[in-house]
Structure 1
């Protein structure tokens, strides 16, 4: 059977981004200026950068095109904002980092499509990648306005593998429920044989772990929470006793003593962010090539005292 691939080349610049905000009473404090608001709310996304170096942004000519308050263009960055004001910031288009654009179709019918996602391609918009995503390519390919193509789960940008996407709202609801069954079973701490009976959806990955794992099978149930980390606004996901329940089953496929690595197959019965990376590093066998997580399920250079116990939310 012929392999079906699709994908449109990315334009040099994306379409920009629009941020919409409403000033709340706890934001204003009586003297909140426009430039102060954006320096804290969208500090990495730019109107303030030009203000600091005199090249544009809030204090430059771009301000006229970028920001409106209650529908009116604002040119004074020191404008004081009042509670209830509606702000719209039109971020100018930018060139996103490199990402592959071709996708292979593994299965497709009227309700869903299974894709082989390449490493380096983000699934949903976030950070610098607002256009160069799987979602964008799906929307470009399926232009039927009666359909709403959308991925129903995520794979990390650096992870390759099968990605299920719904083409209809009905399919999205049913697939999402199947994925949720496994996670909810783990969260409710059901006994092992009950967990295996919940739902009909499994997520199985293969990975290359550092070191030799002596056991043929390892079950990891370390909770995953978040850690305050520089440059990550909502915190970085890590192994944390105060986190949410997570369960991974690790099966050893091959041990390479000479290279000191182990090929493993991992079935995750919950869908926490970075779960496999965190769990394998937690038991002392970080993924080969992982630039972040080290033994213990924590990032390099992290300080345990910086863990915020209130930060145990999924992204």
Structure 2
């Protein structure tokens, strides 16, 4: 299933959809059932939340939330942080509604059948809820749209979901092709295809053999700093986690103790005057922020990437010893980090095209997401002008 640079099929959007975002989202509720660690110990409300959800808010922030009436215990609002909890109590933290950061809301459909939908995701739109973006996501737009689902047989109706769901992720700042499953079977099979690629990338094997066995091959277009010397380069640097302020689960970086990752980089055009190179990247695995990290690792980070620099590392030093910010925002949560985080935009990376073994027919399908102008070669821009 390997494909060379330049073989991407032409594709245009079939149609577009999307509803404008409300000014405020609906807020969120998080439910817990309290269980005593030992019969002879007691736990207060503030101890429960500050110990179990440190990544959500600092201690003063949780006190603020409790006194603000945002937590109920067994259906009753509790404003005393020192209240002793009872075994089996139902705790609910009500996160206040907030105005999420600006994000585009329109999505293009590039391909659709009874099993799958392929979208062209704009840069700046998050795929799934996380952090400040709980409503302004691709998933919300998929949920809001009325879909024509297959009704040809009883078995298919049982297999159909209420709406399509993404089967992989793209970074918020990454644009381009996003696959979504309309049926439960397609969701399981597509997810397994992506997982198989990541697992196989960790095994040392012949690249030609691996290409024939892959059920999905993904090709990205990127603009990087500097001029790459080699026309082709295969990057196999492992990717792992390190401590990073403002990212509770840690930041993915080039790390010798991390998990294996494989990216094949092909030069499309060297832009000497701008000291930049336009490249195609085929990823054989799907580690978080893999392309940004791998291109930085070989000394050519993405142009205008606010976070990742040379070596596939963040652009800021002394991360392990940075003091946590104990101040909190209006709802008690942490203030936005001063340093860039993975979800920040500005870089130029586009999921351009893929080759896919269809989850139902098992026929090979090629789908392409049109390129932003900045990621087109001179020849592609000229051809587009002639066509128009």
TM-score range, shorter chain: 0.7 to 0.9
Call closer, same or farther: CA 1:169–1:29 in 2, change over 3 Å. Answer: farther
Q: Counterpart in 2 of 1:21?
A: 32
Q: Matched residues in 1 for 2:103 and 2:48: separation?
A: 32
1:131 partnered with 2:142: no
Q: 1:59 aligns with which of 58, 67, 85?
A: 67
CA–CA separation in structure 1 for the residues paired with 2:38 and 2:110: 49
Distance 1:299 1:46, change over 3 A: closer
Match of 1:186 in 2: 201
Task: Work out whether residues 126 and 172 of structure 2, in 8 Å CA contact, stay in contact via their aligned partners in 1.
Answer: yes
Q: In the alignment, which residue of structure 2 is the partner of 1:94?
A: 98
Number of equivalent positions: 299
Deviations 1:107-166 (A, max 9, x none): 111111111100000000000000000000001113678534100111100011011111
Check whether the contact 1:209–1:262 (CA below 8 A) recurs between aligned residues.
yes
Identify unmatched segments of 5+ residues in structure 1.
Answer: 307-315
Structure 1 range deviating more: 84-93 or 100-109: 84-93
Q: List aligned pairs for 1:27-42, cutoff 5 A.
A: 30-42=41-53
Counterpart of 2:256 in structure 1 is: 241
Structure 1 residue 18 displacement after superposition: 1.3
Deviation at 1:27, TM superposition (A): 10
Matches within 5 A, 1:67-78: 67-78=71-82
* d(CA) in 2 for partners of 1:111, 1:168: 6
Quote the offset at 1:177 in angstroms: 1.7
Change (3 A) 1:26 1:281: farther
1:164 to 166, 169, 179: 179
Aligned with residue 296 of structure 2, among 272, 277, 281? 281
Aligned to 1:312: none
1:241 counterpart SS class: coil
Using the alignment, how far apart are the partners of 1:222 and 1:2 within structure 2?
Answer: 36
- Say if 1:185 and 1:198, in contact at 8 Å, map to a contact too: no
TM-superposed deviation, 1:85: 3.9
Q: 1:171 deviation in Å?
A: 1.1
1:236-279 CA-to-partner distances (Å, cap 9, x unmatched) read: 00011111110000000000111110000000010000000000
Q: Alignment partner for residue 208 of structure 1, among 223, 237, 251?
A: 223
2:165–2:180 Cα contact (<8 Å) kept: yes
The alpha-carbon distance between structure 1 residues 260 and 146, as it changes in their structure 2 partners (threshold 3 A), is closer
SS in 2 for 1:87: strand
The whole-number CA distance in structure 2 between the counterparts of 1:112 and 1:181 is: 19
Give the Cα separation in 2 of the matches to 1:220 and 1:304.
25
2-side partners of 1:163 and 1:40: how far apart? Answer: 37
User: C-alpha displacement at 1:19, in angstroms?
Assistant: 1.2
Quote the Cα distance in structure 1 between the aligned partners of 2:40 and 2:111. Answer: 54
Residue equivalent to 1:12: 23
Pairwise CA distance, 1:49: 5.8
- Normalising by structure 2, we get a TM-score of 0.71
Partners of 1:298 and 1:43 in 2: how far apart?
26
State the TM-score, normalizing by the size of structure 1. 0.86
> CA distance change for structure 1 residues 27 and 248 in 2, over 3 Å: closer, same or farther?
farther
- Distance 1:275-1:51 versus aligned 2 partners, 3 A rule: closer
Q: Unaligned stretches of 5+ in structure 2?
A: 1-11, 150-159, 322-388
Distance across 1 between alignment mates of 2:59 and 2:106: 36
Higher RCO structure (Cα 8 Å, ≥6 apart): 2
